[in-house]
């Protein structure tokens, strides 16, 4: 049996779980805020001349939920980490150019990641699961943005936006979040979690 598959399901929260969710939320919130400041100049580069392709930059904002779910492995962990990160990025002095709509983004992004971990009954946390969490998080956010930011786009543009966002969710949030979790585990930071005690890689 792969060590990434939990033989018993312990869904009780410990103090360290709650502290870790809060810590990750704050840390990623600062990253989200900084990425928001870089987003506009980056999205205006010629590389993103096709407007929907700017969604390739969105995966960074999905990482908190994926990483929180991979580390804490309890119901609500992915959602809470993502939502806290979104809230922090909004409440930092200066906030973001999207204002309080970021709370809605945090909700949909966190919900997408959470539903994947739920679908696997909080028992599997390998690379494929991480990629799926990033993908669904991206899909939820993209559809939300169709109505909040891009309602004037054609359906073809909206579908392209969805495709680019899902690719970014898989690669940046999914694979990137999984790699970050593994790196933290290797460094010994996660010794209090199952993620830090695993010795084999599940895909």
pLDDT tens figures, 143-178 = 999 999 999 999 999 999 999 999 999 999 999 999
Please give the pLDDT value at position 93.
58
- Per-residue confidence band for 75, with pLDDT thresholds at 50, 70 and 90: very high
Sign of the C-alpha dihedral computed for residues 144, 145, 150 and 154 taken in this order: negative
* Mean per-residue pLDDT, 104-126: 96
Q: Does the pLDDT at position 199 exceed 90?
A: no
Calculate what percentage of the chain has a pLDDT beyond 70: 92
């Amino acid at each position: 049996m792969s060590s990434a598959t939990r033989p018993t399901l312990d869904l009780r929260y410990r103090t360290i779980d709650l502290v870790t969710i809060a810590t990750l939320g704050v840390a990623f919130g600062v990253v989200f805020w900084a990425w928001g400041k870089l987003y506009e100049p980056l999205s205006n580069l010629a590389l993103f001349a096709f407007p929907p392709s700017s969604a390739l930059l969105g995966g960074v904002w999905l990482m908190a939920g994926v990483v929180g779910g991979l580390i804490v492995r309890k119901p609500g962990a992915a959602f809470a980490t993502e939502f806290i990160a979104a809230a922090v990025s909004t409440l930092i002095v200066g906030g973001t150019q999207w204002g309080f709509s970021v709370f809605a983004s945090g909700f949909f992004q966190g919900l997408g990641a959470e539903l994947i971990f739920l679908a696997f009954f909080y028992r599997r946390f390998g690379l494929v699961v991480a990629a799926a969490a990033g993908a669904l998080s991206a899909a939820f956010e993209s559809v939300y943005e169709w109505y909040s930011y891009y309602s004037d786009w054609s359906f073809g543009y909206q579908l392209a936006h969805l495709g680019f966002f899902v690719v970014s969710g898989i690669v940046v949030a999914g694979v990137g979040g999984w790699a970050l979790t593994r790196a933290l585990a290797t460094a010994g930071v996660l010794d209090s979690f199952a993620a830090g005690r695993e010795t084999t890689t599940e895909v």
